Amino acid sequence: MSAAVTAYLESNADRLLAELCELLRIPSISAQPEHQPDMLRAAKFLHDQFAAMGFQVETVQTAGHPIVYAEWLQAPGAPTVLVYGHYDVQPPDPLDLWTTPPFEPTIRDGKLFARGATDDKGQVFTHVKSAEAWLKTEGRLPVNLKFVIEGEEEVGSNNLDHFLESRKAALACDVAVVSDTSQYAPGIPAITYGLRGIVACEVALRGPKKDLHSGVFGGSVTNPVNALCRLVSALHDADGRVQIPGFYDDVAPLSDAERAGFAKLPFDEAAYRAELGVSAVHGEAGFTTLERRWARPTCDVNGITGGYQGAGPKTIVPSRASAKITCRLVPQQDPARILDALEHFLNENCLPGVELEFFRFHGCPAFVFDPTSPYLTAASEAIQEAFGAAPVLIREGGSIPVVTTFREVLGVDTLLLGWGQNTDNLHSPDEHFTVADFHRGTLASAALWERLAALPKTVG
């Protein structure tokens, strides 16, 4: 790759990191309405970055948080690459489990700690800065670049599809790039060729119209908390298999080759247990931990609440109980069908005397990439150049709904190039991004533009 680009990234490393910290200081929590002004500040920060390096840039208003769209299209004859990322972050709570405040970026042991450090501000910023390196040194980019950076990824990307569909022609591209996944392990970079899908919902049970004295009334009315626990418990059998009728009907089974590939990856179960702080791994019978995480569907409660939440005892039959539930999906499972089956199952198994309400959140199907694509080879070479090691092909348990949308709306596949580690605590307290991974990721991104430039242009 261009020696000037490499030298630029090296000599500007500290400034690039400092600029990332500026972005991380903005508490752009999309789920919480009180952070609306912070969402605008984060969008403006990115807008200004693109404007400063000569991109055409627009902050696009939506029904929710704005989308930052930027393009540089001065590489005629070269392919066009669409980079997607998000500037919103998960709520940081529980706050008391953070070593340093989530929106005061702090470096400890070579790691940058902040909410959004790796998911996704830090990762998307590598692509912004690799573009800057090319433009500041070579005065050009090897490919045409389009950036779509949204502010609603953590709350379901409700306004992204409309944006993509309404600008379908302007967004035409040869391939998409998303850095919102992880390396396989330190020293083992990875390309993620599969993602799980997701459906999310909330179930609430309403019992007595107010909390009741558990002595005076207990035993004579259905307790909504007990009834909710009964429903949640019914979701799995003793072997960890989901009991919703039809849940596994469409699941694409893992091929023998995939199971063998997963089995070859280094995986230290004791270290995994220690990292998570659990005494045992546990899940669906008949599958390994990697298979459970990457290729088997789940049904997890993300939060439950009901009745007295304070200290000490309070002797009531609660009036209401609710649980937030997500199912992770694997290829061929249809999100709407799974959510329908879940709702039906809950209604069928609900005790009398409580009213069930079911609220649907977002959902998206799983995704699997074709591992023979030349785009994948180009990415693999760029990563080897920056990280000094060839990436392994892995799947990921999380969901990136936009990958499905890119295929459906723009007709392109997505390169999932994760620069972080899966121990970076994304969505958890003490989220962080290894500083060296930030710099290597930026270098890999810069190399990627050059590698992709050698591939045929199919649009524009």
| Active-site amino acid positions | 88, 153
Give pairs for 368-375: CB < 8 Å, separation 24+.
368/193, 368/194, 368/195, 368/331, 368/395, 369/192, 369/193, 369/194, 369/413, 369/414, 369/415, 369/416, 370/413, 371/193, 373/413, 374/455, 375/174, 375/175, 375/413, 375/415, 375/452, 375/455
Local structure of 322: helix, strand or coil? strand
Give the tokens for residue 258: 């995939």
Stretch that binds its own copies, among 40-48, 210-218, 334-342, 408-416 (CB under 8 A): 210-218
* 403 vs 393: CA distance, rounded Å: 17
* 124 vs 110: CA distance, rounded Å: 20
Q: Is 301 in the site for its own copies (CB under 8 A)?
A: yes
Stretch that binds its own copies, among 8-16, 47-55, 101-109, 284-292 (CB under 8 A): 284-292
Q: Which of residues 234-273 bind its own copies (CB under 8 A)?
A: 234-236
* 94 vs 31: CA distance, rounded Å: 15
* 379 vs 449: CA distance, rounded Å: 9
Q: Which is nearer to its own copies, 274 or 454 (CB)?
A: 274
Stretch that binds its own copies, among 74-82, 106-114, 321-329, 442-450 (CB under 8 A): 321-329
Q: Which of residues 360-379 bind its own copies (CB under 8 A)?
A: 361-362
Residue from 2, 62, 137, 289 touching its own copies (CB under 8 A): that is 289
Q: Which of residues 427-446 bind its own copies (CB under 8 A)?
A: 427-430
- Measured between its terminal Cα atoms, the distance across the chain in Å is 25
Q: Is 342 in the site for its own copies (CB under 8 A)?
A: no
Residue from 65, 121, 129, 292 touching its own copies (CB under 8 A): that is 292
Q: Is 283 in the site for its own copies (CB under 8 A)?
A: yes
DSSP 410: I
Cβ burial of 284 (10 Å; 0-12, 13-18, 19+) is middle
Q: Which is nearer to its own copies, 18 or 221 (CB)?
A: 221
Residue from 12, 214, 373, 377 touching its own copies (CB under 8 A): that is 214
Q: Which of residues 138-167 bind its own copies (CB under 8 A)?
A: 155-156
Cα 22 off chain centre by = 22
Q: Which of residues 57-96 bind its own copies (CB under 8 A)?
A: 90-91, 93-94
How many CB atoms within 10 Å of residue 47?
19
Lay out the site mask for its own copies across 10-49 (x = CB under 8 A, - = otherwise): ---------------------xx-----------------
Q: Which is nearer to its own copies, 303 or 456 (CB)?
A: 303
Q: Which of residues 90-129 bind its own copies (CB under 8 A)?
A: 90-91, 93-94, 97
Q: Which is nearer to its own copies, 7 or 31 (CB)?
A: 31
Q: Which is nearer to its own copies, 75 or 327 (CB)?
A: 327
* 122 vs 112: CA distance, rounded Å: 9
Q: Is 343 in the site for its own copies (CB under 8 A)?
A: no
Q: Is 358 in the site for its own copies (CB under 8 A)?
A: no
Q: Is 394 in the site for its own copies (CB under 8 A)?
A: no
Nearest to 170 by CA among 413, 407, 460: 460
Nearest distance from C-beta of residue 394 to its own copies, angstroms: 12
Look up residue 16 and give its amino acid: L
Task: Give how many residues touch its own copies by CB under 8 A.
Answer: 100
